[in-house]
Amino acid sequence: MGIVDILTYIAQALVLFTAAIAATRLLGKSAIVQLTPFDLVAIVIIGTVIAEPLVRSTVSAAVAGAGLLVVLHVLFSRLALVGRLNSLLLGEPSVVVKHGRLVVENLRRNSLSVAQLLALLRSSGYPYLDDIEFALLEPIGQVSILPRGGARPVCPDDLGLPHGYRGLPLPVVLDGNLKPENLAETGRDEAWLRQELTRLDVRDASQVLYAYVEHPDTLVVNLKDGTARRSRPAPGARGATGRGL
C-alpha cells in the first residue's frame, strides 16, 4: 500500500466517522436516552454501512483500521472540549419540563415521547411534574432534574409532619389516547374521566397530552397547548375505593 493509498484510507475514515456522528445526531437524543428496537436497528445499520468502505481482507489492514478509528475517537473527544465545537458535535441541553409543565416543542424536536420522559422522571424519583422546576435533556442523553424549592430535599416524613397519600400517577390519557386499563386500576371508568374533563372545560381527550389521577379524586391534566389544569372533588363525591395506586 503506497502513501497515496494510506492517505486516501485516512481521509475516508475521517469522512465516514464524521458522517456517522452526524447520522447519530440526526437520530435525536432519544436514541441515546432509551434504545428502542428501531433505534438499535438504525444504529447497527448505520455503523455497518459506514464501516463497509473501510473493510479490508487482511488482518493487518483490519487492525490498522481499528486503530485509526480509536485515534479519530480520541481526536473528536478532544475537539468536543472546545466551546463552539462542543455545541456542534454534541448539541445543547433542551428544557423538557419548565415550572412543572411539559415543553412540547422540545420533546418533539428531540424525538422524545411523553412516555419515555415520564419513565426517566420516575426512575429519578420524580413521578409528579409539579415537583419539578426544570428538567433538561442533556446532550449525552441523560435528564437533569431541578426540583421545586419545596419538593426536595426535605419532605414531611423527615420533619414528622402528617401528609396525604398521593398514589402512583398512572397516565389515564397519554398524547390524546385514553388508557382504560389505568383507569380501571384507579377504580374509575371513562364516564368519570369525561365528566372531570368537562368540569375542567376540556372538550375532548384529544386536547390532552398527559393526565393522571391523584389520590383520591383529583384529575391533573396537562394540555397540548402547554397549560395544566387540576380538578377538585365535587361536594359529596366518593373517595377512591381502597388505597389506590
Q: How far is CA 66 from the centre of its chain?
A: 33
- At 243, give phi and psi (nearest 5°): -90, -20
What is the Cα–Cα distance from 40 to 121, expressed in whole angstroms? 22
Q: For the chain, which residues make up each domain, given as ranges?
A: 3-90, 94-157, 165-230
pLDDT of residue 40: 52
pLDDT of residue 216: 73
Q: How far is CA 87 from the centre of its chain?
A: 20
| Spatial CA neighbour of 211 closest among 199, 203, 202, 223 | 223
pLDDT of residue 30: 56
- What nine digits make up the cell of 4? 497515496
Which residues make Cβ contacts (< 8 Å) with residue 110, sequence separation at least 6? 28, 29, 30, 94, 96, 137
Indicate yes or no: pTM above 0.85: no
From the options 3.40.50.12500, 3.90.640.10, 3.30.465.10, 3.30.240.20, give the CATH code of 94-157.
Answer: 3.30.240.20
Q: Which residue ranges of the chain lie beneath pLDDT 70?
A: 1, 23-70, 73, 82-84, 86-87, 89-90, 150-155, 163, 165, 233-245
- Secondary element (H or E) of residue 25: helix 3-27
pLDDT of residue 152: 61
pLDDT of residue 245: 44
Which residues make Cβ contacts (< 8 Å) with residue 130, sequence separation at least 6? 100, 148, 220, 228
Two domains, one topology: 94-157 and 165-230: yes
- Sign of torsion, CA 37 41 42 47? positive
Crossing angle of helices 37-51 and 3-27, rounded to 10°: 170
Q: Are 219 and 196 in contact (CB under 8 A)?
A: yes
From the options 3.40.50.1100, 3.30.470.10, 1.20.58.1610, 3.30.240.20, give the CATH code of 165-230.
Answer: 3.30.240.20
pLDDT of residue 198: 93
